[in-house]
């Protein structure tokens, strides 16, 4: 699947598939939030985990319209204010919140396509991280080369492509399928930035 085929496939995701795609991206970046919250002494990691679990639970059942605004309000209270922290970690943590917000909004308004922006947002988190950690003294061409070759970029690409293919092949969100999707996306607690909850 080349880049254009991938973009087209993402743009065609609808309904539960789009929601599952958004949740999987959020799941993969959850450690970025949890580790940041821990590092700055916010006691919000477990609450956010609960919220993400609730969002996954909605994939297989109809949810009352009123439940989602409550979850969105809760998400807002748990989201870090990027202006309030000097630490770089606030940005990937906030990106996670944005992805989860898109998944919840998808359930509220399934007619609006969100997967393409979310896919690009998740990739941008990785690009920014690489640029910050390795791109400081590089010219533009060198940076492009580094990004192109970087294992984290390759992993992100592979993860997102496999995810889309998986979703296209699956007819209904069976319990087994969703469980496997969650497990694959959780990646043993290693985020899209290669940082681990278990360290």
The domain spanning residue 87 has which CATH number?
A: 1.20.1590.10
Long-range (24+ apart) CB contacts under 8 A made by 181-185 are 181/20, 181/24, 182/23, 182/24, 182/27, 182/56, 184/24, 185/23, 185/24, 185/25, 185/27, 185/28, 185/159
Structure tokens at 53: 């679990």
Domain that holds residue 84: 3-189
pLDDT digit string, tens, across residues 94-140: 999 999 999 999 998 989 999 999 999 999 999 999 999 998 888 99
Q: Is residue 194 part of a domain?
A: no
Mean pLDDT of 175-194: 96
pLDDT digit string, tens, across residues 134-172: 988 889 999 999 999 999 999 999 999 999 999 999 999
Domain total in the chain: 1
Q: Is residue 195 part of a domain?
A: no
Q: Is residue 54 part of a domain?
A: yes
Q: Is residue 67 part of a domain?
A: yes
Q: Is residue 196 part of a domain?
A: no
Residue 71 CB contacts under 8 Å (≥ 6 apart), including other chains? 51, 54, 55, 104
Would the pLDDT of 60 be above 90?
Answer: no
Task: For residue 199, name the pLDDT band (cuts at 50, 70, 90).
Answer: low
Q: Is residue 198 part of a domain?
A: no
Q: Is residue 179 part of a domain?
A: yes
């Amino acid at each position: 699947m080349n880049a254009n085929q991938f973009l087209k496939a993402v743009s065609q995701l609808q309904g539960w598939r789009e929601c599952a795609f958004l949740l999987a991206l959020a799941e993969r970046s959850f450690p970025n939030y949890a580790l940041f919250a821990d590092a700055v002494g916010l006691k919000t990691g477990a609450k956010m985990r609960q919220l993400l679990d609730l969002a996954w639970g909605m994939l297989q059942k109809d949810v009352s319209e009123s439940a989602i605004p409550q979850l969105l309000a809760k998400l807002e209270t748990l989201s870090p204010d990027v202006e309030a922290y000097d630490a770089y970690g606030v940005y990937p943590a906030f990106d996670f919140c944005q992805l989860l917000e898109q998944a919840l909004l998808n359930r509220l308004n399934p007619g609006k396509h969100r997967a393409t922006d979310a896919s690009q947002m998740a990739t941008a988190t990785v690009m920014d991280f690489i640029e910050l950690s390795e791109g400081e003294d590089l010219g533009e061409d060198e940076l492009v080369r580094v990004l192109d070759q970087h294992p984290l970029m390759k992993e992100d690409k592979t993860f997102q492509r496999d995810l889309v293919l998986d979703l296209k092949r699956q007819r209904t969100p069976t319990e087994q399928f969703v469980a496997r999707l969650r497990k694959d996306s959780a990646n043993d607690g290693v985020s899209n930035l290669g940082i681990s909850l278990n360290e």
